[in-house]
């Protein structure tokens, strides 16, 4: 049988489609270098490269918390380095002295601050999941931890203010700083976590976040 096969040149009248193909069974990325993980073998690179890559990711997240406009990167690539650094910093500054000084601050111990931050974040996340939110556990803990950044900044400023002599005006200044940090933290976490809840339950999910930051801000304010 004699068959004829006509081959036509592809006339490029339509706009070209772009995309990528992901084949399961191999490591895939839906878009290129979104999470910064390269496709090549990272075993041979210098350690500085490896460390800097992670540090860059953490720094980007800090930036997104301080200027909460773009939501997705904090949620997509969660990590817990930032919360750990912030929690350790705050617990170190907040801890009461254990010496027998009569004027020593009877504040929370290092472990108490740690427990409050981590168990508090876990409980708030659990509450959000039980109410039917569709966010994963570690994403939420990551967001809550990173949103401690304004509170930690307020703590550092308060510590600096405390070096001067104690007066009413300075207490008022500390109060204003702490309130500012608290509102900023709640607003930032509301932006990141607010979308994950069904609308008729959103206040129910936001209230524990508010309480969490309120308690930590209280610890910051009452530290002297």
Partner 1 sequence: METPTADDLLQFRDYSATNNSGAPAQINVNSPTHATSGGNFNAQQQQQQQRQRGDPLADLIYDMSSSTAATAGGGGGAGAQGASLDGAANVGGAGAGGARLSFLTIEYYQQFFNVDTYMVLERIVNSMIPKRAASNYLRMNIGENPDLYGPFWITITLIFSIAISGNIASYLQLADDSYQWHYNFHLVSYAATCIFLYANILPAILWALFKYSLKPVDQADAIETDSATYTPTLLSLMCIYGYSLAIYIPVSILWVINISLLQWLLVITAAMLSGTVLIAVLTPALRNSQYSLFLIVGILSAHVILAAGFLLYFFHSPPDALAAGPKPTLPQVLPPAHMVQQAVSQQPVVGDLPQANQTG
Nearer to partner 1, 68 or 208 (CB): 208
Q: Which is nearer to partner 1, 152 or 205 (CB)?
A: 205
Specify whether the CB–CB gap between 117 and 87 falls below 8 A. yes
Q: How far apart are CA 42 and CA 23, in angstroms?
A: 22
Instruction: Tell me the closest approach of the beta carbon of residue 43 to partner 1, in angstroms.
Output: 25
Which one, 38 or 132, has the nearer CB to partner 1? 132
Q: Is the dihedral of CA 130, 135, 141, 146 positive or negative?
A: negative
Side-chain half-sphere exposure of 177, counting CA atoms within 13 A:
21
Q: Which residues bind partner 1 (CB under 8 A)?
A: 1-3, 5, 17-25, 30, 72, 75-76, 96, 100, 102-109, 111-112, 127, 129-132, 134-136, 139, 166-168, 196, 200-204, 207-208, 211, 214-215, 218, 222-224
In angstroms, the Cα distances linking 53 to 42, 138, 160, 183 are 11, 21, 32, 31
The least distance separating partner 1 from the CB of residue 58, rounded to whole angstroms, comes to: 18
Q: DSSP code of 26?
A: S
Least spacing, CB of residue 47 vs partner 1, in Å: 28
Smallest gap, in angstroms, from Cβ of residue 222 to partner 1?
A: 4
- CB of 172 or CB of 218, closer to partner 1: 218
Shortest distance, CB of residue 45 to partner 1, whole angstroms? 26
CB count in 10 Å sphere of residue 96 = 14
The nearer residue to partner 1, 19 or 46, going by C-beta atoms, is: 19
**Range 99-108 contact pairs with CB under 8 angstroms and sequence separation of 24 or more:** 105/223, 105/224, 107/219, 107/222, 107/223, 108/219
Residue nearer to partner 1 on the CB measure, 51 or 126: 126
Q: Give the CA-trace dihedral at 91, 93, 95, 99, to 10 degrees.
A: 150
Closest distance to partner 1 from the beta carbon of 181 (Å): 17
């Amino acid at each position: 049988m004699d068959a004829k096969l006509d081959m036509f040149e592809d006339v490029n009248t339509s706009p070209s489609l772009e995309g990528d193909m992901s084949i399961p069974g191999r490591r895939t990325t839906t878009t290129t270098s979104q999470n910064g993980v390269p496709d090549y073998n990272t075993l041979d690179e210098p350690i500085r490269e490896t460390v800097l890559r992670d540090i860059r990711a953490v720094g980007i997240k800090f930036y997104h918390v301080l200027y909460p406009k773009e939501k997705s990167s904090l949620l997509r690539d969660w990590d817990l380095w930032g919360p750990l650094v912030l929690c350790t910093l705050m617990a170190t500054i907040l801890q009461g002295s254990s010496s027998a000084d009569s004027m020593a601050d009877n504040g929370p111990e290092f472990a108490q601050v740690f427990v409050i931050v981590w168990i508090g974040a876990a409980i708030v996340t659990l509450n959000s999941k039980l109410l039917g939110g569709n966010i994963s556990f570690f994403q939420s803990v990551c967001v809550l931890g990173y949103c401690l950044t304004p509170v930690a900044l307020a703590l550092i400023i308060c510590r600096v203010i405390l070096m001067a002599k104690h007066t009413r005006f300075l207490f008022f200044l500390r109060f204003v700083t702490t309130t500012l940090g608290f509102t900023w933290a709640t607003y930032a976490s509301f932006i990141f976590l607010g979308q994950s809840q069904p609308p008729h339950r959103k206040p129910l999910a936001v209230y524990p976040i508010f309480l969490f930051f309120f308690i930590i801000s209280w610890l910051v304010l009452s530290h002297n």
